[in-house]
Chain A
Amino acid sequence: MTVLKVSGLTKNFGGLAAVSNVNLEIEERELIGLIGPNGAGKTTLFNLLTGVYDPSEGKIELNVDGTMKSIGGLKPYVITGLGLARTFQNIRLFKNMTVLDNVKLAMNKSVSYSTLAAILRLPSYYREEQRVLEEAVKLLEVVGLAEKQTTLAKNLPYGQQRKLEIARALAAKPKILFLDEPAAGMNPQETTELTELIHQIKEQFNLTVVLIEHDMSLVMKICERIYVLDYGKCIAHGTPEAIKNNRRVIEAYLGED
């Protein structure tokens, strides 16, 4: 079943096409890699898919309860509500909130008490807060941060901040998870752990995962299919094997001749 379909997607900044006529088709529970040289438009593509930017042209369709719904140009929070969550290349945690609150925040949509109930501390408030707390702790256990609940996010070491971003994205209960360079700045040991974590959450939460990554070994190892961007265009897609031997990809990375 197709969960995300992108056709003819283009984004112009002034005269520059950061993303140009990109087509993607992502199946349920796939693990997709998105690679390309610096400035190829990978993050811009993420920003288009998650609603940070409005597309200049083209269509983005998300499978919502069995029907394809066009999401291009919707606000980011609406898109997240439809089942699409992300992490950021340059970590964007809520720095002065605790680890626990970072995760709880992403669960807001499911919280059912009203503002009035919160102010008056009605039973629904306590019931829901208890549920949110339990679920948040479970997610923190998955990424191994349960011990750090009351730490402020800014005080976590770098690698754990990346993991917290993943936990926070999971808390939004996505069907598709976008990871923007999750292994950036990590050492090989941490990268290995991360690889395992990605596999684990994909299975545990029934996710479709799309990741941007520069670490080729990671991409080649875990991704089932890879899309390659260069100068905003999708120049190739296929299995890791096919991509490895694709002439155009090699040219894009190493330069022609």
Chain B
Amino acid sequence: MTQFLQQLINGLSLGSIYALIALGYTMVYGIIKLINFAHGDIYMLGAYIGFICTAQLGMGFFPALAAAMGICALIGVIIERIAYKPLRNATRITALITAIGVSYFLEASTQKVMGTGVKTFPQVLANQKIMIGGVMITTQQIAIFAITIGLMLLLQFIVRKTKVGRAMRAVSVDADAARLMGVNVDMTISYTFAIGSALAGAAGVLVGLYYNSINPLMGMLPGVKAFIAAVFGGIGIIPGAMFGGFFIGIVETLVSGYGSSLYKDAVVYIILIIILVVKPAGLLGKNVKEKV
């Protein structure tokens, strides 16, 4: 039982990171129906920006987190304007391949600038172990969890209560109608990318802190898994992405803990396929049939 609780806590930490990345996927998909394959690389950039801020510029954790979020938001918006905006009316596969191109570009550029090797992320946050009845929680895990929850609440507030959020919801339902009602669609999409990328940037810094090591290709696999998390919860649905992220994180940790870590990725993909086959719109989604 203690072992199970331990795995659960580790899983929640990993899940927090997936959830933060998944939010960006789900928001972008919700608004322009694009699987933003480069999103995992934004998360990688966030980790590198955090690394530069802390290891090279000597900044503290929170300023570094803020810097990573800000710069990632900016990068996200620039990518959208340059690469995705010209493709608003293109087919989905075209947009997807563009996103793959952006992903390659970001990975290769980071390799060129920062080197292909692994970098050690400095321990900028005190890491104390707390034992509760045989279960170990580190202060880092608590910080990761708290920051994730905080950001999610902030996101919910933005989406539900602000003008920008209302515009986002409107555009995701019907971009043309929203435009006719005076919503600045391009601006709204930029905001969506900015917010999604900022969350991914935050996830990057947190993962650097948690695992201590970062590399230019670190975004690929978590990117795919976060996408799976978004699909799991119902893509386009914000609470679904959070739920999916935590779920995938916990399952992955449990499989590693109890079974074989070699199969942990396979289990995630199997979950994905089962959910797609049984309930393709995701756990929280609704099935829609094409009108004839």
Contacts and interface: CB of A to CB of B under 8 A. Distances in A.
* A/B: CB atoms within 8 Å of each other: yes
Interface of A: 43, 47, 52, 88
Contacts of A88: 292
Interface residues of B, number: 1
A88 B292 CA distance: 8
Interface string B197-240: 00000000000000000000000000000000000000000000
Contacts of B292: 43, 47, 52, 88
B46 to A, nearest CB: 43
A47 B290 CA distance: 12
A230 to B, nearest CB: 21
A47 B289 CA distance: 13
Nearest to A90: B292
Nearest to B290: A52
A73 to B, nearest CB: 15
B98 to A, nearest CB: 23
Contacts of A43: 292
A54 B269 CA distance: 32
Contacts of A52: 292
Nearest to A47: B292
A39 B292 CA distance: 13
A43 B292 CA distance: 8
4 contacts: A43-B292, A47-B292, A52-B292, A88-B292
A119 B292 CA distance: 35
Nearest to A180: B292
A75 to B, nearest CB: 14
Interface in B254-292: 292
B23 to A, nearest CB: 30
A12 to B, nearest CB: 14
A52 B292 CA distance: 8
A171 B292 CA distance: 21
Nearest to A43: B292
A43 B291 CA distance: 11
A47 B291 CA distance: 10
A63 B140 CA distance: 72
A194 B292 CA distance: 23
A53 to B, nearest CB: 8
Ordered nearest first, which 4 A-B pairs have the shortest CB separation?
A52-B292, A47-B292, A88-B292, A43-B292
B165 to A, nearest CB: 28
Contacts of A47: 292
A248 to B, nearest CB: 28
A58 B292 CA distance: 21
B43 to A, nearest CB: 39
A52 B291 CA distance: 10
Nearest to A76: B292
A193 to B, nearest CB: 27
A52 B290 CA distance: 10
A21 to B, nearest CB: 22
B292 to A, nearest CB: 5
Interface in B146-176: none
A112 B292 CA distance: 31
Interface in B120-164: none
Nearest to A92: B292
Nearest to A88: B292
A47 B292 CA distance: 8
B281 to A, nearest CB: 16
A34 B78 CA distance: 55
Nearest to A89: B292
A177 B292 CA distance: 18
